[in-house]
């Protein structure tokens, strides 16, 4: 029997080798799809789309591994977080209420694969990240705007705790504007309150607050999102309050002066009517009042009831005479004491 030609031999060898090396498509488990890392403030969450579903008895599970620069891949297991053989399509390394997670200044790489019994899919990896560099910084929290005299006081808290302030800190910017006016920016501050002064009193101002993360190693600035818009009306400043006091005092004094002049004019014009209104009405004598109570008794007796005759008493009587004039008849008239000599008389009681 003749051996096969060299070309045919080579073709048969390649076909047999390819068949032995390539597994069946039905035995290959699909890898998770579109893995993405979610970094918002302090949150670190890996999410992905599921691979092929398992059967009724054995569901598909997932395994997540991580590594730092220069280290080996390791499973992520902690008392609070388990990302090994999980059925969920996400792994929460750190959340808003969970402070665990990867160091925020480390280079971190992640990968995830599907597992179904003895079958294992290929690894699906995400690009490495640094939290301070790649995280989305939200606006400051707990913002409170307090109006003052020609000013606004803005207080807030940091979006999240950065840890050691020598590694990373927040600076805060306030964009404010008079309602319908031009926007202005307040100089950045590192404290948790900002005073906007030299504002117009009794004017509505609107503002937004922004936090910017400053990472010192390396020097990176990660600007955050703006907060919602807050609008408040300023109150009167010291000079405006003084002006109000002066105006109120002058207005009160002017009003009192006008009222006084008006009252004086009315008194002069209607003084007769006023006297009539305030005149004491005549009263009935007590004797008449008693008679009216008992009309049966004689009127004269009622009038003389409380009266008792009394003798007139004089301590002294003086008669004054005038000197006679020439040519004038100074004969005194009958019953008159004029023109008579001085007579002193005393009458005893």
In a domain, 152, yes or no: yes
**Distance of alpha carbon 345 from alpha carbon 319, whole angstroms:** 9
Shared domain for 166 and 220, answered yes or no, is yes
- DSSP string over 180-219: TS-EEEEEEESSSEEEE-SPPTT-EEEEEEEEEEEEETTE
Q: Which long-range contacts (CB under 8 A, 24 or more apart) does 82-85 make?
A: 83/46, 85/61, 85/115
In a domain, 281, yes or no: no
Shared domain for 112 and 149, answered yes or no, is no
Cα 65 to Cα 26, 74, 113, 275, distances in angstroms: 26, 5, 9, 108
**Distance of alpha carbon 81 from alpha carbon 85, whole angstroms:** 12
pLDDT at 262: 83
pLDDT at 343: 39
**Distance of alpha carbon 253 from alpha carbon 37, whole angstroms:** 73
pLDDT at 97: 75
Shared domain for 117 and 156, answered yes or no, is no
Give φ, ψ of 287 to 5 degrees.
Answer: -65, -45
Shared domain for 121 and 152, answered yes or no, is no
In a domain, 58, yes or no: yes
Shared domain for 128 and 146, answered yes or no, is no
Shared domain for 51 and 115, answered yes or no, is yes
pLDDT at 24: 38
- The pair of three-digit structure tokens given for residue 37, joined into one six-digit string: 């890392």
In a domain, 292, yes or no: no
In a domain, 160, yes or no: yes
State which of 96, 113, 133 marks the end of a domain: 133
User: Are 140 and 134 spatial neighbours (Cβ–Cβ below 8 Å)?
Assistant: no
User: Are 54 and 29 spatial neighbours (Cβ–Cβ below 8 Å)?
Assistant: no
Task: Assign residue 234 the CATH number of its domain.
Answer: 2.60.40.10
pLDDT at 309: 52
Name the residue range of residue 113's domain: 33-133
Tell me the H-state helices in the chain: 6-21, 131-134, 238-269, 271-278, 286-293, 299-303
State which of 239, 266, 284 marks the end of a domain: 239
pLDDT at 313: 53
Shared domain for 186 and 126, answered yes or no, is no
pLDDT at 53: 64
Q: How many domains does the chain have?
A: 2
In a domain, 265, yes or no: no
DSSP state of 159: S
Radius of gyration of the chain (CA): 57
What are the pLDDT tens digits along the chain (349 aa)? 344 444 433 333 333 333 333 333 445 789 999 999 999 999 999 999 987 665 556 789 999 999 999 899 999 877 778 889 999 999 999 987 777 789 998 999 999 999 988 889 999 999 999 999 999 999 999 999 999 888 999 999 999 998 888 889 999 999 999 988 899 999 999 999 999 998 999 999 999 999 999 998 788 999 999 999 999 999 886 565 556 667 777 788 788 888 888 887 777 777 777 777 766 666 667 667 666 666 666 665 655 555 555 555 555 656 666 565 555 554 555 444 444 444 344 444 4
State which of 209, 239, 269 marks the end of a domain: 239
In a domain, 305, yes or no: no
User: pTM, whole model, 2 decimals?
Assistant: 0.60
In a domain, 258, yes or no: no
pLDDT at 8: 36
């Amino acid at each position: 029997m003749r051996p096969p030609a060299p070309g045919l031999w080579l073709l048969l060898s390649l076909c047999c080798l390819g068949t032995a090396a390539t597994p069946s498509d039905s035995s290959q488990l699909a890898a998770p799809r579109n893995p993405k890392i979610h970094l918002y403030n302090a949150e670190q969450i890996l999410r992905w789309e599921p691979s092929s579903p398992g059967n009724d008895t054995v569901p598909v599970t997932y395994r997540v591994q991580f590594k730092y620069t220069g280290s080996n891949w390791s499973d992520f297991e902690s008392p609070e977080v388990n990302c090994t053989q999980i059925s969920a399509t996400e792994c929460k390394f750190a959340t808003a209420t969970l402070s665990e997670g990867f160091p925020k200044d480390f280079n971190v790489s992640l990968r995830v694969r599907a597992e179904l019994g003895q079958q294992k899919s290929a690894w699906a990896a995400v690009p490495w990240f640094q939290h301070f560099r790649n995280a989305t910084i939200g606006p400051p929290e707990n913002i409170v705007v307090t109006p003052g005299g020609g000013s606004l006081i803005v207080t807030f808290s940091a979006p999240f705790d950065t840890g050691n302030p020598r590694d990373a800190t927040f600076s805060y910017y306030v964009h404010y504007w008079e309602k319908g006016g031009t926007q202005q920016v307040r100089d950045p501050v590192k404290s948790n309150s900002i005073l906007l002064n030299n504002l117009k009193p009794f004017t509505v101002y609107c503002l937004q607050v922004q936090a910017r993360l400053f990472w010192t190693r390396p020097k990176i600035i990660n600007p955050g999102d703006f907060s919602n818009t807050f609008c408040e009306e300023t109150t009167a400043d010291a000079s405006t309050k003084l002006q109000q006091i002066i105006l109120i005092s002058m207005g009160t004094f002017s009003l009192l002066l006008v009222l006084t002049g008006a009252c004086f004019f009315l008194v002069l014009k209607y003084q007769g009517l006023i006297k009539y209104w305030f005149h004491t009405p005549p009263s009935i004598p007590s004797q008449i009042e008693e008679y009216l109570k008992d009309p049966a008794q004689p009127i004269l007796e009622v009038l003389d009831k409380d009266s008792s005759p009394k003798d007139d008493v004089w301590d002294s009587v003086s008669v004054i005479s005038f000197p006679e004039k020439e040519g004038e008849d100074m004969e005194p008239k009958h019953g008159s004491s004029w023109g008579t000599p001085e007579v002193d008389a005393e009458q005893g009681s």
